[in-house]
Amino acid sequence: MDFSAKFTIFIAFSLFLRETSSEEKKRILLNDPDMLNSRIDSMQHEMQALKSELQDLKSQHSNQGTHYIRWGRKVCPALNGTSTVYSGIVGGRIFNDKSGGFTTLCLPHNPDPASKDLPTFSYSARVYGAEYELTYKGIADNDDVPCAVCFSTRASSTFMIPAKTTCPPKWTKQYEGFLTADADYSDHYGSEFLCMDENPEYLTEGARQHNNDGRLFYTVQAVCGSLPCPPYTNAQLMTCVVCSL
């Protein structure tokens, strides 16, 4: 019998003795060993149930965490506790469509079809792919944009800080990059600000630089006025960082 088993029996026996009177202890110890064994077995079952419940609580805790999307990359950063849920394709509404969904999506590479009895209508929102509108490092103008959905088990919160490349004290940097959005052309209807990874990649599906448009990613510049300069600088490109805690 190993130490753990002996310790379990000792604890069970101690609890049992503490809950019985002096006369009961004497009678059980001297005259009824079978009852003693039965009570010990019962205590062991109770302790095993408690251990199992504790293990379930630990398992539930380990499944807690936070997720975020890494824009411009196919996998998540190699940090302790961070894993790639899936690698995807950036999608959203086309740049000159004033209707439809406003948020940008990280679409999986293996989509499931909709139910066949789902009705179709003459009008519907549409999802397009996405393209870079810049040439930088390993990407070129009109390259398609990848993404990765990331999950960190060692954090409970993530957020993006614009105009920074470092995180606050005690926060962990997931990745840094540059701020992006749609441009202010007259026929563009804007998009949300997203943090593009500092080392962006392009999708491998299809040929590069087809210029199919869709959801477009441009860099973002600071404009002085209501935005104070300093500390900001007019026309300066803006950085960003994604942090977790």
117 in a structural domain = no
Residue 39 belongs to a domain: yes
Residues 104 and 13 in one domain: no
* Residue 118 forms part of a structural domain: no
Residue 116 lies in a domain: no
Q: pLDDT digit string (tens) for 68-97? A: 999 999 999 999 899 999 999 999 987 767
Q: Per the structure, how many domains does the chain have?
A: 2
| Together in a domain, 94 and 205 | yes
Buried b (16+ CB within 10 A) or exposed e, 178-194: bbbbbeeeeebeebeeb
To the question of pTM greater than 0.75 for the whole model, the response is no
Segment 151-178 shows an average pLDDT of 96
| Shared-domain flag, residues 92 and 39 | no
Is residue 155 domain-resident?
yes
- Domain that includes residue 240, residue range: 70-111+124-244
Question: Model confidence at 55, in pLDDT bands (50, 70, 90)?
Answer: low
Same domain, 139 and 173: yes
- Confidence grade of residue 59 (pLDDT, cut at 50, 70, 90): very low
**Do 133 and 177 fall within a single domain?**
yes
Which tens digits make up the pLDDT trace of 99-151? 677 899 999 999 999 898 888 777 788 888 999 999 999 999 999 999 999 99
Please state the rounded mean pLDDT for residues 6-30. 54
Pairwise CA distance, residues 197 & 195, whole Å = 6
- Higher pLDDT, residue 184 or 146: 146
pLDDT (tens digit per residue) in 207-238: 566 777 778 899 999 999 999 999 999 999 99
Place of tokens 């205590």: 43
133 exposure class (CB count in 10 Å sphere: 0-12, 13-18, 19+) = middle
Alpha carbons 57 and 54: distance in angstroms, whole number? 5
Residue predicted with more confidence, 64 or 66:
66
Please check the confidence at residue 35 and state whether its pLDDT lies above 60.
yes
Q: In the prediction, which pLDDT does 180 show?
A: 95
